[in-house]
Amino acid sequence: MDTDNLSVVLHAKGDLRLEQRPIPEPGPNEVLLQMHSVGICGSDVHYWQNGRIGDFVVKKPMVLGHEAAGRVFKVGPGVTHLKPGDRVAIEPGAPRDMDEFCKSGRYNLSPTIFFCATPPDDGNLSRYYIHNANFCYKLPDNVSYEEGALIEPLSVGIHACRRAGVTLGSSVLVCGAGPIGLVTLLAAKAMGASQVIISDLSADRLAKAKELGADFLLPVKREDTAQEMAKRVEGILGGMPHISIECTGAESCIQTAIYATRSGGVVVLVGLGAEMATVPILNAAVREVDIRGVFRYCNTWPVAIAMLASKRVNVMPLVTHRFPLEQAVQAFETSRQGLGVKVMLKCDKNDQNP
């Protein structure tokens, strides 16, 4: 058997290394996966640059990566729905306990959940990786490994749109045209939104949003006030949007989302910024604008796979850079600089195809 298990390991803030790790054996209800495609997420870069995200602190070496797809190499005892050779997408959050959140279907909120590349849990940016078999989903033949890896960010968009109540005819403001803003745009359009307007500072990102189906683009300047932006949104749409989905975490964008949303509408907060923010809460309260949070996703992989297989959603334009696993540090630097949209690492040295 192959002994090459090259892995991308974060040792401490700023200390990213490529190193060999033992190939693990799958336990009961686990599968050993030969990894194929793994996307770099902003959180991976944030851990590399800062050594922490909020209360999650890197205290020991941690393998990065959680946007992933690969091939089943070996199954552990008790696994009957997968076999070696199956192509799968990996849901990185797998509950450890059957607690109240699992019982109610909101397992993403379980305080003991395992989550790839969130301290102290290792991620899957390696040649081989073991995962809970129940959170590996078979890919149809017409869905590529890269599409499988992109289900993870797409799931954030699906979950945000579900939390928002996006449905046929919804008008939606998406704040931020980074990777999460773009997948939120894709999900909103697929779920029936009639008008989606998306804002960003970057003309390049707005151009990508147009390519992906945005109805209206809203360029932002740093000096723009939230009230000014809200008025511009209303002017472009011909009315205030039913829903605003905030994907930046920036205080000014949260303010814009609240001011822009029509009375009785919904604001969903996806982007993670400062712990404290000054927002027009009274404006939201007296207009009955609901403010809802999002933490990752749950119950999204089956619907995402169906969306991709039916070609209702095309995520492939998001991938702008590809690197072999051996060039992981260069790939992370490309992502850190904000070049392109999604940087994809190819972990199978014998198959570098999408």
Token reading at 69: 């797809």
Judged against a pLDDT cut of 70, whether residue 65 lies above it is answered with yes
Residue 1's pLDDT is 62
Please compute the mean of the pLDDT values over residues 98-106 and round it to a whole number: 97
Three-state SS at 268: strand
Other CB atoms within 10 Å distance of the CB of residue 134: 15
Judged against a pLDDT cut of 80, whether residue 244 lies above it is answered with yes
Considering the domain architecture, whether residues 174 and 98 belong to the same structural domain is answered as no
Over the stretch 24-55, which tens digit does the pLDDT of each residue have? 999 999 999 999 999 999 999 999 999 999 88
User: Can you give the CATH number for the domain in which 100 is found?
Assistant: 3.90.180.10
Q: Please tell me the distance from the alpha carbon of residue 270 to that of residue 235, in angstroms, as a whole number.
A: 25
Model confidence at 19, in pLDDT bands (50, 70, 90)?
A: very high
Query: 114 is in which domain, residue-wise?
Result: 6-138+315-346
Residue 350's pLDDT is 86
User: Can you give the CATH number for the domain in which 184 is found?
Assistant: 3.40.50.720
Helix then strand count (H, E) for the chain reads 10, 20
Domain-located, residue 1: no
Judged against a pLDDT cut of 90, whether residue 353 lies above it is answered with no
Residue 340's pLDDT is 87
Considering the domain architecture, whether residues 218 and 107 belong to the same structural domain is answered as no
Other CB atoms within 10 Å distance of the CB of residue 280: 16
Considering the domain architecture, whether residues 270 and 173 belong to the same structural domain is answered as yes
Considering the domain architecture, whether residues 40 and 68 belong to the same structural domain is answered as yes
Judged against a pLDDT cut of 80, whether residue 70 lies above it is answered with yes
Length of the chain: 354
Tell me how many degrees the CA angle 30-94-292 measures, rounded to the nearest 5. Answer: 165
For the entire predicted model, the pTM comes to 0.96
The DSSP result for 252-282, as a single string, is HHHHHHHHHSPTT-EEEE-S---SS----HH
Q: Please tell me the distance from the alpha carbon of residue 189 to that of residue 214, in angstroms, as a whole number.
A: 8
Query: Per the structure, how many domains does the chain have?
Result: 2
Considering the domain architecture, whether residues 50 and 129 belong to the same structural domain is answered as yes
Token reading at 330: 């260069």
Helix axes 328-336, 42-50, angle to 10 degrees: 100
Over the stretch 295-310, which tens digit does the pLDDT of each residue have? 999 999 999 999 999 9
Q: Please tell me the distance from the alpha carbon of residue 217 to that of residue 236, in angstroms, as a whole number.
A: 9
Judged against a pLDDT cut of 70, whether residue 18 lies above it is answered with yes
